């Protein structure tokens, strides 16, 4: 059975996933992907094709390992053909993870406009139309950066994290900060969705479970969204 491999190197960790067709078989996360890690993931798997996406620059050792194993490898950048038209003024500055998440959302919700929200270190909001056009998006600080900014720049405010009560209105300073940060992100998502005409909201990223249940609209949460999008881009290039 021929398998495909997706490599998503983000700012703080890397995710390697193995697919059989469109079926996700397994995923592994590493702080920073090393050739030995990739070798272990591929052991026992007949991987014939791979796609490599990195927001921190490609690792030549990873590329060399894939080449040595005879794996057809596609490097994700703005020049790679993909099932998505990018209507973005500066496609070379568009994050690879944002492209992959957009393709993944269209795979999950075909025929609908999508607001794709990746709630990680930064929060990215990307608008993709039903006819597969990436129209653009916004970038904002993630939850951890918001907590950190308040503690760093407001002398009398304590450092707070997401663990704890999140009431609609805070009843003390920690809950006021926690609710302001978390519910502020929820409000951003809901406001943008309304302004875009109520597209499908697709959430991914480490903080997505925290906000998903608090959004008044129906949402789709898929923390494998980027991997699924990468796999779809790989499939698209394999049949060209």
Q: Do 118 and 189 touch, CB atoms closer than 8 A?
A: no
Q: Which of 82, 101, 114, 97 is nearest to 189 (CA)?
A: 114
Residues sharing a CB contact under 8 Å with residue 161, sequence separation 6 or more, in sequence order: 144, 147, 178
Active-site entry in 8, 97, 126, 207: 97
Q: How far is CA 228 from the centre of its chain?
A: 10
Q: Do 139 and 146 touch, CB atoms closer than 8 A?
A: no
Beta strands in the chain (DSSP E): 3-9, 14-20, 23-30, 47-54, 72-75, 85-86, 114-119, 122-128, 133-141, 200-204, 219-221
126 as an active site residue: the answer is no
What residues are annotated to the active site? Answer: 97
């Amino acid at each position: 059975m021929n398998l495909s491999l997706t490599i998503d190197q983000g700012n703080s960790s890397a995710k390697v996933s193995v697919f059989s067709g469109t079926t996700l078989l397994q995923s592994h996360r590493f702080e920073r992907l090393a050739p030995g890690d990739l070798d272990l993931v591929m052991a026992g798997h007949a991987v014939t094709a791979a796609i490599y996406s990195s927001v921190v620059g490609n690792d030549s050792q990873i590329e060399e390992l894939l080449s040595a194993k005879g794996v057809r490898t596609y490097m994700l950048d703005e020049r790679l053909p993909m099932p998505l038209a990018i209507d973005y003024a500066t496609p070379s500055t568009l994050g690879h993870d944002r492209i992959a998440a957009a393709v993944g959302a269209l795979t999950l919700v075909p025929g609908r406009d999508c607001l794709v929200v990746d709630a990680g270190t930064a929060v990215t909001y990307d608008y993709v139309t039903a006819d597969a056009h990436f129209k653009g998006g916004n970038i904002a600080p993630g939850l951890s950066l918001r907590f950190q900014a308040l503690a760093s720049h407001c002398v009398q405010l304590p450092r707070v994290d997401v663990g704890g009560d999140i009431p609609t209105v805070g009843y003390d300073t920690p809950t006021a900060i926690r609710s302001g940060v978390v519910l502020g992100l929820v409000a951003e998502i809901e406001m943008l969705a309304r302004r875009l005409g109520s597209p499908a909201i697709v959430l991914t990223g480490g903080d997505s479970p925290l906000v998903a249940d608090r959004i008044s609209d129906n949402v789709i949460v898929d923390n494998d969204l980027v991997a699924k999008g990468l796999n779809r881009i790989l499939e698209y290039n394999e049949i060209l």
